[in-house]
């Protein structure tokens, strides 16, 4: 669903059915940066639990945040013209993200699936399964960062 939305937006710049607020480029970039940072916080929390003392409740909360954001339709924030500009800071997106439709859609779909899987296994409290799912999710983050984020660090 996410990849469909992303592709639809990237390919045609038309909006899906339903009401959308007009999104300014600077807001779109700020919200993207905010959503990724919120997921980064959550990933760090999960890592601390996987590497240290495991607390199911902590991991569930963090995994639910990642899942909700992954399913939020963030593709809508890649508005035309937002390959450059400043939200909280200058965007680090590479222009290729806006033109590599199918490849980006695949990465987005993998990310979405991995986020749903992590939330699912987090709810079971199975720390080993969480570690595996967490690693897979991190791989999908890296796949996008490697190809579509400048100054990767």
Binding positions for heme c are 141, 144-145
Cβ proximity of 118 and 137 under 8 Å: yes
The residue within the footprint of a second copy, chosen from 7, 13, 14, 35 (CB under 8 A), is 35
Q: Which two tokens stand for residue 35?
A: 């959503």
Residue with tokens 């035309």: 80
The residue within the footprint of a second copy, chosen from 30, 104, 134, 141 (CB under 8 A), is 30
Comparison of 103 and 138: residue with beta carbon closer to a second copy: 138
Alpha helices in the chain (DSSP H): 2-12, 25-51, 56-70, 101-124, 127-148
Give the nearest distance from C-beta 47 to a second copy in angstroms.
Answer: 7
- Residue 42-61 contact track with a second copy, rule CB under 8 A, x = bound: x-xx-xxx-xxxxx-xx--x
Give the nearest distance from C-beta 105 to a second copy in angstroms.
Answer: 18
The residue within the footprint of a second copy, chosen from 6, 9, 29, 65 (CB under 8 A), is 65
Give the nearest distance from C-beta 121 to a second copy in angstroms.
Answer: 17
CA distance 144 to 15: 24
Q: Which residues contact 48 (CB under 8 A, 6 or more apart)?
A: none
- Rounded to a whole number of angstroms, the distance between the first and last alpha carbons of the chain is 29
Please, which of residues 93-152 interact with a second copy by CB under 8 A?
none
Q: Which two tokens stand for residue 33?
A: 């940066």
Residue with tokens 């990767």: 152
Q: Which residues are at the interface with a second copy (CB under 8 A)?
A: 16-21, 27, 30-31, 33-35, 37-38, 40-42, 44-45, 47-49, 51-55, 57-58, 61-62, 64-65, 67-69, 71-73, 77, 88-89
């Amino acid at each position: 669903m996410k990849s469909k939305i992303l592709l639809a937006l990237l390919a045609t710049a038309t909006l899906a059915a339903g009401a959308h607020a007009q999104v300014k480029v600077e807001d779109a970039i700020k919200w993207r940066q905010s959503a990724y940072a919120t997921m980064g916080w959550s990933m760090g929390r999960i890592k601390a639990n996987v590497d240290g003392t495991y607390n199911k409740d902590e991991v569930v909360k963090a995994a639910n945040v990642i899942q909700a954001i992954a399913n939020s339709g963030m593709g809508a924030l890649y508005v035309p013209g937002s390959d450059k500009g400043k939200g909280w800071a200058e965007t680090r997106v590479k222009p290729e993200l806006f033109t590599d439709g199918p490849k980006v859609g695949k990465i987005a779909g993998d990310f979405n699936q991995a986020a749903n899987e992590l939330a699912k296994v987090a709810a079971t409290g199975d720390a080993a399964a969480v570690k595996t799912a967490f690693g897979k999710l991190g791989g999908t983050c890296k796949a996008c960062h490697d190809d579509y984020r400048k100054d990767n660090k």
